[in-house]
Amino acid sequence: MKVLVTVKEVAEVADDFEIAGTEVDERYLEYDLNEWDDYAVEEAVQLKEDGPAEEVVTVTVGPERSEETIRMALAKGADRAVRVWDDALEDAGLLDVETKTNLLEAVVEEEDPDLVLTGVQAGDDAFGATGVSLADELGFQWGAVVNALDYDADENVAHVHRELEGGVEELTDIDLPAVLTIQTGINEPRYASLRGIRQAQSKEIAPKSLDDLGLDAGAIESDLEVTSMYEPESESDAEIFEGDASETAGELAEVLREKGVAE
């Protein structure tokens, strides 16, 4: 079977930063592979190593800069990559779930995978909705927040655990083709090996414009507009201990004794 993994390059914000208009000033952003997608890539690569998957393809919606992140996924074992970008996307602002669904749907139709893995959410805008929306649009089955996956090739069924709140997991059987949104902790993502990094240089990253995907500008009209961005006000009334480590530890110890939890 063929596995398609959605890979997002997300921006991380430095501890100290400034906001310019409705965006974090570019100077304070660092780009990296979305944490949840790292687990999704690992799960796909393991499906290939264990046998059921013949090919692992990644798809990213992102500018040329994101190729660095895509190479990370290729170095970890994905076979090739598709990168969707267009000048129209450059100016689009916050992409809504429908827009991302439209773009990814066009790629899925071209690639025809049996299984699509996405991260549960992206570390930057944290919508957590694209995978399920995509599945519904495609007429695929789906499972959200999957933290264990056991694929049964004979039945073509994914036996999954969905991580609910409060330490409970739901056990669900999902027919393929399907989209699963992958939770952190499902596996242990590997580091890219030097050999992997070298090999990734020669793997294909196919750029696709809206035109290539048979889409027009209407497909990326977002219903959402960010109108303001600000740092949340701190509501802290914590008593902060001042001094060197010995002094602060002393005060902390005092509190623990006062509360009667340590002697």
Partner 1 sequence: MSDVLAVAEHRRGDLRDVSFELLTAGRQLADATGGDLHVAVVSGDTESFADDLNREGVDAIHTVSEGEEFNHDVYTQAVEALHAELDPEILVMPNSVNGLDYAPAVANRLDLPLVTDAVDFDYDGGLTVTREMYGSKVETTVDVAGDQQAVTIRGAEWPAAEGVGDADIAEFDVDIDADAGSTVTGFEEVGGGDVDISEADFIVSIGRGIEEEDNLPLIEDLVEATGATLASSRPIVDNGWLPKNRQVGQSGKVVTPDVYLAIGISGAVQHVAGMKGADTIIAVNTDPNAPIFDIADYGIVGDLFEVVPELIEQFE
Q: Does 98 engage in binding with partner 1 (CB under 8 A)?
A: yes
Among 164, 204, 209, 216, binds partner 1 (CB under 8 A): 164
* CA atoms of 120 and 123, how far apart (whole Å): 10
Q: Does 136 engage in binding with partner 1 (CB under 8 A)?
A: yes
Structural contact between residues 101 and 163, judged by C-beta atoms closer than 8 angstroms: no
Using the contact rule CB under 8 A, the part of the chain among 12-20, 57-65, 76-84, 195-203 near partner 1 is 12-20
- Which residues sit opposite 181 in a β-bridge? 118
Which residue from 195, 204, 263 is spatially nearest to 70, judged by alpha carbons?
Answer: 204
Among 2, 8, 83, 162, binds partner 1 (CB under 8 A): 162
Torsion of CA 95, 99, 100, 104, to 10 degrees: -150
Q: Does 154 engage in binding with partner 1 (CB under 8 A)?
A: no
* Closest separation in Å from C-beta 225 to partner 1: 5
Establish whether the linkage from the previous residue to 177 is cis, with ω within 30° of 0. yes
Angle at 205 between CA 200 and CA 211, to 5 degrees: 175
Q: Does 209 engage in binding with partner 1 (CB under 8 A)?
A: no
Using the contact rule CB under 8 A, the part of the chain among 56-64, 75-83, 118-126, 210-218 near partner 1 is 118-126
Site for partner 1 in 24-43 (CB under 8 A): 24
Amino acid identity for residue 22 in this structure? T
Q: Is residue 61 classed as helix, strand or coil in its secondary structure?
A: strand
Site for partner 1 in 185-204 (CB under 8 A): 185, 188
Using the contact rule CB under 8 A, the part of the chain among 41-49, 67-75, 108-116, 248-256 near partner 1 is 248-256
